[in-house]
Amino acid sequence: MSDTKLRERICALAKSMFERGLTHGSTGNISARTEDGGLLVSPTGTSFGRLDPGRLSQFDAKGVLVAGDKPTKEMPLHTAFYDTRSSAGAVVHLHSCHSVALSMIPGANSDDFLPPLTPYAIMKLGKVTLLPFFLPGDPAMGEAVRGLAGKRSAVMLANHGPVVAGKDVEAACNAIEELEDTARLAMMLRGVNAIALNDDQISALVTKFDVEWEA
């Protein structure tokens, strides 16, 4: 995809998520690999609803900012995924309400945050790791992602929001929306003896769709 088309696609997808309430105000950030190995990144303090394609932060293949506005303060999160997952072509971070709410409920499984309610969350995300709370912009968030050694495409930052890497910006956005929708289902079903997918069904999904599913 050309630089111009990628810039427009990033902004269009971000605006769509903003307009549907998946993030709000000036929250959230998004990045994508360019054809030359660089990055386009949403600038700091910007709204997903009003990103300007011409003002996206542009990094070269060596990680040097070469054009655009100052990038998001969450760059350590983005670079951690790119550095540890060779398949990562885009990274999205949202402050989506249902996933944040689910992260604050005691007893969450930190190694497998989302309950197995639908096949699509498993297919698009694999297991999601719940990370502890960090101050926004803390480089330790990136170090926590690096500590996963590339074994997860998605993490949930407690009291903060999800972060997802995908093969391209479309895939990353689709996956993070699946994460939020699964969290919303989980919140809707609290107190109900819901029938989740069983181990055999999960195993069949993992095998058929070649899902990364580390124990």
Catalogue the active-site residues: 120
Of 92, 91, 109, 113, the C-alpha closest to 183 is 113
Phi–psi pair at 110, nearest 5 degrees: -65, -25
- Residue 100, CB half-sphere, CA atoms under 13 Å: how many? 12
**Buried-exposed string 97-107: b where 16+ CB fall within 10 A, e elsewhere:** bbbbebbeeee
Of 171, 172, 151, 179, the C-alpha closest to 78 is 172
Q: Are 59 and 66 in contact (CB under 8 A)?
A: yes
Burial class (CB in 10 A: 0-12, 13-18, 19+), 24: middle
In whole angstroms, what separates CA 117 from the centre of its chain? 19
